[in-house]
Structure 1
Amino acid sequence: MSAHAPLSLLCLPCAGASAAMYLRWRRFLSPSVRVVPVELPGRGARMGEAFVEDFGALVARICAEQADAMRSDFAIFGHSMGGLLAHGMARRLQAARRPLPRALLVSGCAAPSRRDPSRLDGGEDDASLIAELRKQGGTPQEVFASDELMRITLDTLRADRRVCRSHVDDTAGAPPLPLPVHVFAGRQDDLEASAIAAWSQETADVFTLDWFAGGHFFLRQHETGFLAALARRLSAQTHLHAH
């Protein structure tokens, strides 16, 4: 890789959200990283499309749609559900013997082998989902204030919960990923620390785990510190591979 070709960072959103959440990162990350928000069907600029509610089908669709971005140097980042999708993509590329990302980066997400399906047992009615959004703390106040935005968010969240429910960790027999895995987590998130640390078993390469103050959306609450850590992990990759 030439020292000048930027690393494409494919960014996958959390449940209920649009990938537009990542646009602001472009102002903070160095020009050596090209932020590529990966919009999923049914939200943001793709609002008119049907949701894809099956995990495997969604991963296959993302891999097909992002084939161009994955031709040059790239890494994959995902928050929460996005972390699960990012891992699914890396595993799909590995199984297909396609070029792999420089690194897999996940935040606010339990390792696939340690997911707790009972987290999705809550009600699917509006009141239950709104309570969940308030508890997680990542939803802007103006969404709660607007019936239309709330409806869009709840429809998206319902579809995404189906995606998460349909996830099966079928990598038990697969070799670990031959690439670095960098994990970021909030100390006040209600995910178990051991379930986050279990990401170390997914890689045969470098594993890092950075903890931050804050809950599930620590990456917003402490954006400056989080993006500095993200940039540090990414620059380790680019320096490693610059010839």
Structure 2
Amino acid sequence: MSLTPQTLSLLCLPCAGASATMYLRWRRFLPQWVRIVPVELPGRGARTGEAFADNYDALVAQLCDEQAEAMQGGDFALFGHSMGALLAHGMASRLHDAGRTLPRALLVSACAAPSQRDPERFEGKDDDASLTADLRKQGGTPEDVFASAELMRITLDVLGADYRICRSFAHDAATGSVPLPMPVHAFAGRHDDIDIQRIEAWSSETAGTFTLDAFDGGHFFIRQHEAAFLEALVRRLGPLIAQEKAHAPHALA
């Protein structure tokens, strides 16, 4: 009798202005033991009919409740790119504070550590012109979107709502964050506007292992160098599935 191969659910949170469908293509390239679970936010994708969230803490709490089933059993990890990384960290922290099952690891991409966020980053970006300029600067948005008035309207509405979420995030400089009892794996683009030192500061968010993988490219290196990034992602996830298998019951003869 053989065991069913173990799997690890990777809950993936999107960057600002995007839908979680940005992660669906990864299913074609990742090993079968990685189960991609796109975490859609209100107001986009399959949740277009819902009102946008407007508060970081409330959204984190909502996501923890909504994803309870996917996180049941502990065979999961959290991944987020840019704003998604901040939300993933918020979820891990909330689960820890509530004494709930924790992810096997937190994986953060293209995001400054909570203690290193720039409070002025999203100021003045609340009109179409400034949001469009920011889309251009960050890269990663197909030209087809800029060429379509309908797609731009949808994108700018989502981006504006997400920037309000980012503005509502508050880091307590006096108390800081409680280091999480799980590995934190960070990923960065060498040509991103976010200084690599601000991403290295994620090391203070964990009481366990910290790694940092850097790639050529800017804020959307995960698309510009997708193959290299996914290879690194699998390398960081591999020990988690090995740990899971080590705790699995032995097969019966």
Same fold (TM over 0.5): yes
Cα drift, residue 217 of structure 1? 0.2
Instruction: Give the one of 176, 198, 203 matched to 1:195.
Output: 198
C-alpha distance 184-173 of structure 1, shift in aligned 2 (>3 A): closer
Whether the 8 Å CA contact 1:3–1:242 is kept in 2: the answer is no
Aligned residue number for residue 138 of structure 2: 136
Q: TM-score, normalised by structure 2?
A: 0.93
Aligned residue number for residue 149 of structure 2: 147
Cα drift, residue 161 of structure 1? 0.5
| Alpha-carbon separation, structure 2, partners of 1:174 and 1:197 | 15
Letter in 2 for 1:238: I
- Give ranges in structure 1 of 5+ residues lacking alignment: none
Q: Output one character per residue of 1:170-223: Cα deviation in whole Å (capped at 9) or x when no partner.
A: 493553100000000000000011110000000010000000000000000000
Instruction: Give the one of 230, 234, 239 matched to 1:236.
Output: 239
C-alpha distance 208-152 of structure 1, shift in aligned 2 (>3 A): same
Instruction: Give the one of 88, 91, 100 matched to 2:90.
Output: 88
Letter in 1 for 2:129: A
Matched pairs, number: 242
Whether the 8 Å CA contact 1:182–1:208 is kept in 2: the answer is yes
**2:215 equivalent to 1:215:** no
Aligned residue number for residue 110 of structure 1: 112
Q: Secondary structure at the match of 1:119?
A: coil
| Alpha-carbon separation, structure 2, partners of 1:228 and 1:175 | 30
Letter in 2 for 1:182: H
Cα drift, residue 121 of structure 1? 1.9
Larger radius of gyration: 2
Q: Secondary structure at the match of 1:117?
A: coil
Using the aligned pairs only, state the percent identity. 67
- 120-129 vs 77-86, which moves further: 120-129
Q: Output one character per residue of 1:69-121: Cα deviation in whole Å (capped at 9) or x when no partner.
A: 00030000000000000000000000000010000001000000110011112
Cα drift, residue 141 of structure 1? 1.2
| Alpha-carbon separation, structure 2, partners of 1:39 and 1:123 | 23
